[in-house]
Every structure is written in C-alpha cells, then in structure tokens.
Structure 1
Amino acid sequence: MTNADNYEKTAMKVSIVSVIWNLLLSAGKLFAGIFANSGAMISDAVHSASDVFSTIIVMIGVKISGKDSDNDHPYGHERLECVAAIILATVLAATGIGIGYGAVVKIMAGDYNVEMPGILALVAAVVSILVKELMFWYTRYYAKQIDSSALMADAWHHRSDSLSSIGALIGIIGARLGFGIMEPLASVVICIFIEKAAYDIFMDAVNKMVDKSCDDETMEKIKACAMNIPGVENIDLLRTRVFGNKIYVDMEIAADGNKTLDETHAVAERVHDAIEQEFPKVKHIMVHVNPAKK
C-alpha cells in the first residue's frame, strides 16, 4: 500500500468513526433534552448533528486531495485538503461566535430563569463531554500521524463540542442550584477557546497554500542528509515549500568539476533517493549539480 493509499484509508476510517459517534450522540442528547426538559441539551444535540456536516467536508477534501496528478494539475491535488481545513476553520469560528453571541445576549437581557432540568440531562452532558474528548484525542492522534490539516480541524471540532457540552453541564447544574447565569458566563469563555483553535487551524492551512518553507530543523536535516552522500562537497542552495501535506525540494549541490557528467549525475541521483527515503513527506525533489569552487 502506498503512502497516499494509507493516508486516505486512515483519514476515511477516522471520519467514519466520527460520523457514527456524532449521530449516536445527537440522538441521545436530543432524547435527554426533550425528556429532561433541558433547552441547553437540545441545543447541544443540534451542535453535535452539525459536526456530521463538518466531517463530510473532511472526507470530500481528503478524497479529492488524494487524486493522482493529471494534465491540468501536474503537481497533484494536495492543496484541496487545505481548502477543506479552511472551510472547517470558518465553520468552527462561526460556531464559537454563535455560542458567544447567544451567551452575551442572555447576560445583557438578564435571561437566566429556566425550568429545572431533570437528572437525565445532567448524565447526557457528562457522557457527551467524555465521548467528545475521547474523539478529540483519537482524531488528533491520527491527524498528526498522517499530517492532515483537515483531520486536525475536525479534531478541534470535537473539542468545541466537548466545550459546548461543558457549557451545557454548567448551565444545567446552575439551573438546578438556582444560578442560571453560570451557563452564559461559561459559554463566553468557551467561545474564546474555540476562536483561538479556529484561528490556528486557518493560519496553518493558509501557510500550506502559499508555499511556506519547511521549518529550520527540517531544512538542516535535509542538508545533513545530502552532505552524507559521497561526492557532495557543499550545498550551494536549498529551497523547500510545503504543498498541502507534502514537501517539494529544490537543491543545488557542489561536486568535483573534474568528474564526468555520468559520475556527477550519479551523485545527484543518490542525493535524490536518500532524501526521498529519509523524508517520506517529500513528494518531489530537484537536484542541480554545480562544479565545486576551488
């Protein structure tokens, strides 16, 4: 199985798990909200249902980004996954704004008087927090493993749902204790955390779309890998660009000018193969050979 096949298979597996759990949670929270007389839990159920839409965006983005190169897209389609991540970051930001706006309106209006919710709503909120936190760590683990910005965005969507459930839990406890203001105050804090996550995801996706170079540590490791090849006397130039979740490398090496073309070409080929083998994320590398300065 190729790296591309493994990437798509892993992303799809995680996404399907997300869809199943979100559907189950939505149904469970809706049931609890209706029968335990909790408007906060009904709203939380709708939030979980909306996450299914977000995960579908991830699946579409991963599927399209995994397509092979063609005449119109000779460098592949990896950046389309970044588009999916940007869409998810926007949805995440809108979710946070919605939570924050609703909370501020309640605080300004002094709308804290709600009917006491039943214990079932309390149990549903706790279960939701635990499940969504597990889904966050599960999705985050695989997002880091395959370096998927779209999957990482979906992981933070799970975290936003967990935070939303914390707000619902606080609201339910507050309502049962007679302190209805606790829910909107918690929601304002939750909004801030969600907006920070959305910003980080958005900027990461944008950086991957504008040919941002690799970090300094990766650059140094690539140089060291090339210098370990017999026949390489110096690295004259190294440029890298992050393309979706892949890396493109342009390198100029210095070799003995007295060698034949075949010999220096063989050195360049060894550099090319060594870097591709040591750095699986490198999709394409161009190695140019200069005569070493005397």
Structure 2
Amino acid sequence: MSAGADTGLSKGAQREKNRVTVASLAAAVCLTAAKLAAGLATGSLGLLAEAAHSALDTVASVITFFSVRVAGRPADENHPYGHGRVENLSAVVQGVLLLGTAAWVLSESIGRIFFEPVAVQVSVWAFVVMGVSVAVDLWRSRMLYRVARRHGSRALEADALNFRADMFSSSVVIIGLALSAYGASVGGGGWFLERADAFAALLVGLFILGKAGQLAMRSVNVLLDLAPVELQGRISRGAESVSGVVETRRVRLRESGHRKFADIVVSVPRTVSAAEAHGISERVEETVRYIDGRTESVVHVEPVATEAETMAEAIHGIAQEMGFRTHHERVQRAGGSYEATLHVEVDPALTLGEAHERASGLGDEIRRQEPRIARVNSHIEVAEPDPEERERVDADHPELVEEIRRAVAGSGTEASCHEVRLYRHKGPEDAETGALDAVLHCDFPPRMGVGEVHLRTEHVERTLRAGLPALEQVVIHAEPAAG
C-alpha cells in the first residue's frame, strides 16, 4: 500500500450510504409514533415494547447517519488508517442501547406475568400498525443490507440485521395480540391467554437481548483487532503461491470500517536483487487484492538461504547480508574440499589493515555458513567511484582503430569487429601517458555457446592489451553475426 493512501469512500458510495440512512431514519420515526399511539390506546405491553424498540432504532439510525459520514472521510495525518472504525464504535453504542431496552421490556413483562396482569384492549388498528411495521422492516432491511454488502459498512449491516430481526419480534407481538383478542372473545380463556401479550413482550425482550449482545461483541472484536482467521489463512496461502516467495512468515490483519489492513512478512531467496525483491512484494500485494478487494497490504521481505542456491550464490548472499559489495564469486574443488575466490569492494578511505580485517571477517562468516568451503581468497578493491568524464577520440587515431580490427580478425576466435570506439579520460595524468580505453562491438557465430564466446572475448582482450600498450582497458560487446 502506498503511503498516504486514501482509505475514504468514493463520493458516489458515500451518497448512496447517506441516502439509505436518511430513508431508514424517516421510517423509524414514523413507526415509533404509530406503535406508541397503538400501545397507549390498547394497553399492550407488546406494542409498547415494540414502540420502545423502534425508538431505539430511531436513535440507532441517527447514530448511523452521522457515523457513516465520519467514516467516509479519507485518511489524514492523525488517522492514517482512515475513520472507518467510527462505524464499529457506533455499532457498539447501538448494542448498549438495545441492552437497556431489553432490560426494561423483560422487567415489565415478568411483572405482568407473575405479579400485576394488565388487560389488553385489542383493536384492529393494533394489527394494522404491526402489519405495516413488518412490511417497512422488510423493505428497510433489504435496502440497508444491499448497500452494506456493496460498500462493506458495519454500521449499515448492523441496522439491516436489526430490522430483519424486528420482523420476528413484530410477528411475535401480532401473535400475542391475536391470543389476547381470542381470550377476550371467549371470556378470559385461562391464565396463559390473559397474559399472552406479556409473554409476547418477554420473547421480544429476550430476542433484543441476544441481538444486542451479538451486535456489541462483533464490533468490540473489531475494535480489539480480533483477526479474521479464515481470511488470514487465505492470504497466507495466496502469498506463498507467488513466484519467488519461499514462505509466509506472518500475516497480521485489522479492520477499520469498510476496509481491512494486512501486514505481511514473506521470505525470499537471499540471492535476489533489491529490485527483484520489490517486484515480489508487489505481486504479493496484487494477490491479496485479488483474494479480498477491501484489504490493503504492506509486505515486508526477508532474505533467507535456500537449498536451490549454488555455493557462489550463497557467498554473494552472505556478503550482502553483511553489507559488502562483491563480484566474480567463484568456487572450485581443491582436493577433498572447496576453495572460494571473490572480489570485495571497500571504501577507498580505509587503510589496508582495516580493509583486510573486514575481508577476513567476511571469509570467516562464509566458512561458518558454508562448512564445505575450506578456504576463502578475497581480492580487495576500492568501490567504483563516481563516473569520470572522458572524450571519444577514435577519429583522431584511425591507424590504431585499423590495428585493432586486424588483431581481432587474426586472433583465431572467429570474431570480427564492426565498430571500434576509443576514449581518453580527461585527467592530466591520462594526457601525459596517452592511455586509451577501447570499446569493441564484435560479431560471433550465432550458434556458438555463451561460455565459449566468453572465453574467446577474454582471449581477444589479452591479445589486444599485449600487442597494443596504448590500450588501458578493453571492453568487448559480443553480438550474433547477421545471416
């Protein structure tokens, strides 16, 4: 994930979330008023419990209305992961409010069942109000759940589950009212029918209690960074499937509103370059986005030794781990053991004693990690300085250019030069010595093996430096001959 990534919602998504929360709020206000009026008119505790429940839904809708606006804000300096957890916090508040409502409903229902039964005056309007309530809750739950799934909103999902559950509680109240009406029509109908409305309220209270606990716990778990284990495992397996990844060492997940954030540690062969390691980390991030489009990841790469690496690659990897720049690593068999040679670049400001001590320490570490290597021979050289300025001078030395062409053609390597460039460094000492660098573009048979071409280019370089003392450095660029 790039630094400073905007974890807010798009404007279109935010408008859609705002629209459904306003619609839900308006419906909650209307239902609360209707249930309260019907409950007071009939004396039904079930209706009053539903009115209280709807009133809490209204408060919850207000909380959701504001929380989705805050959660939609993009990340800033003080909130690098965005403001999404406001939705989780609002869901906790909703759960606490529902617990309070459940406690009141349970207390009243138990009182009416065992201590002070209250006669309920059932009317047709009570059934009409509750029937409308079921239809409105069905509409609200579908609308909110669809938008919650589309945009990963915890607050809207909480509201959707809340209203879906309200349909059950409203149905229970309707059954209680029907039993109370039947009891009244037959002249009492016994102990249970006289208290059917209170029993319905008791069921509603228990239902609200369970729903509130579930809602609060889910949101608290998010706020406490409880990791989604199933997604964690999928990300771990997905990262290991990326080419170049040796293993997934750690996956840490956290949620924030509609987003998830993953910190992933993977190991890669220590022989890969920094650019290759970066490419592997980007492929892991792409894999995570494919697994879960709402998860943003930061990938940390750790180098490790692998069984597939050669001893020369192992030497290069060990040197990199110790902060050395090396090249020309070679391992050869000497008797019953192996002997390694390598070029070690050091700071030119070091003394020979300091450079030798560093190179010796590298050799000790190589032998420790690779016990098969009995001896390490290091060639100490200064690190490549900043590029020096030089001028092209082959036009001033046509005779030397022709000599080089003839020497290459007569070297017995099947090579021919189609381009020769000569350069002179601009330092005063170079002007005095007249030393030149030569860059040759030479053609070789296209079917010749690379190893053979390398040997032949080395032979050409030795031949030129031996026969033409004016050449200080010779670089040969091998190309396949046309035709």
Aligned to 1:123: 128
* Higher deviation after alignment, 187-196 or 139-148: 139-148
User: Are 1:117 and 1:172, in contact at CA under 8 Å, matched by a contact in 2?
Assistant: yes
1:1-294 residue pairs with structure 2 within 5 A?
4-5=9-10, 7-29=13-35, 37-40=41-44, 41=47, 44-45=50-51, 47-114=53-120, 116-159=121-164, 161-177=166-182, 178=184, 179-216=193-230, 218-294=231-307
Q: CA-to-partner distance for each residue in 1:22-72, whole Å, 9 max, x for gaps?
A: 2333454456567xx323346644543442221010121121122222222
Supply the AA of the counterpart residue of 2:128: V
> Structure 1 residues 254 and 157 mapped into 2: Cα distance closer, same or farther (>3 Å)?
closer
> Structure 1 residues 234 and 157 mapped into 2: Cα distance closer, same or farther (>3 Å)?
closer
Supply the AA of the counterpart residue of 2:304: P
* Higher deviation after alignment, 25-34 or 72-81: 25-34
Supply the AA of the counterpart residue of 1:194: I
Cα deviation for residue 249 of structure 1 reads: 1.5
Distance 2:214 2:50 in 1: 24
Q: CA-to-partner distance for each residue in 1:252-290, whole Å, 9 max, x for gaps?
A: 222222222112222112222332344222134233232
TM-score, normalised by the number of residues in structure 2 = 0.54
SS of corresponding position for 2:233 = helix
Computing the radius of gyration from Cα coordinates, the structure with the larger value is 2
SS of corresponding position for 1:258 = coil
> Structure 1 residues 44 and 255 mapped into 2: Cα distance closer, same or farther (>3 Å)?
closer
Aligned to 2:392: none
> Structure 1 residues 9 and 292 mapped into 2: Cα distance closer, same or farther (>3 Å)?
farther
Cα deviation for residue 122 of structure 1 reads: 1.8
Supply the AA of the counterpart residue of 2:63: I
Distance 1:160 1:259 in 2: 56
> Structure 1 residues 4 and 247 mapped into 2: Cα distance closer, same or farther (>3 Å)?
same
Structure whose residues are more often strand by fraction:
2
SS of corresponding position for 1:251 = strand
Distance 2:152 2:82 in 1: 17
Distance 1:96 1:144 in 2: 28
User: Are 2:246 and 2:268, in contact at CA under 8 Å, matched by a contact in 1?
Assistant: yes
Distance 1:249 1:88 in 2: 28
Runs of 5+ consecutive residues of structure 2 not aligned to the other structure: 1-6, 185-192, 308-483
* Higher deviation after alignment, 142-151 or 85-94: 142-151
Q: CA-to-partner distance for each residue in 1:84-139, whole Å, 9 max, x for gaps?
A: 0000011111222222111111112232323x332122222222123223423443
Task: Identify the structure with bigger relative contact order (alpha carbons < 8 Å, sequence gap 6+).
Answer: 1
SS of corresponding position for 1:4 = coil
Aligned residues between the structures: 289
> Structure 1 residues 189 and 33 mapped into 2: Cα distance closer, same or farther (>3 Å)?
closer
Supply the AA of the counterpart residue of 2:283: R
Cα deviation for residue 21 of structure 1 reads: 2.0
> Structure 1 residues 167 and 221 mapped into 2: Cα distance closer, same or farther (>3 Å)?
closer
> Structure 1 residues 292 and 270 mapped into 2: Cα distance closer, same or farther (>3 Å)?
farther
Structure whose residues are more often helix by fraction:
1
User: Are 2:240 and 2:247, in contact at CA under 8 Å, matched by a contact in 1?
Assistant: yes
SS of corresponding position for 1:252 = strand
Supply the AA of the counterpart residue of 1:153: A
* Higher deviation after alignment, 187-196 or 47-56: 47-56
RMSD: 2.6
Supply the AA of the counterpart residue of 1:197: K
Aligned to 2:463: none
SS of corresponding position for 2:9 = helix
User: Are 1:209 and 1:244, in contact at CA under 8 Å, matched by a contact in 2?
Assistant: no
Distance 2:201 2:105 in 1: 6
Runs of 5+ consecutive residues of structure 1 not aligned to the other structure: none
Cα deviation for residue 164 of structure 1 reads: 4.5
User: Are 1:239 and 1:251, in contact at CA under 8 Å, matched by a contact in 2?
Assistant: yes
Distance 1:220 1:185 in 2: 46
Cα deviation for residue 171 of structure 1 reads: 4.0
Distance 1:100 1:42 in 2: 12
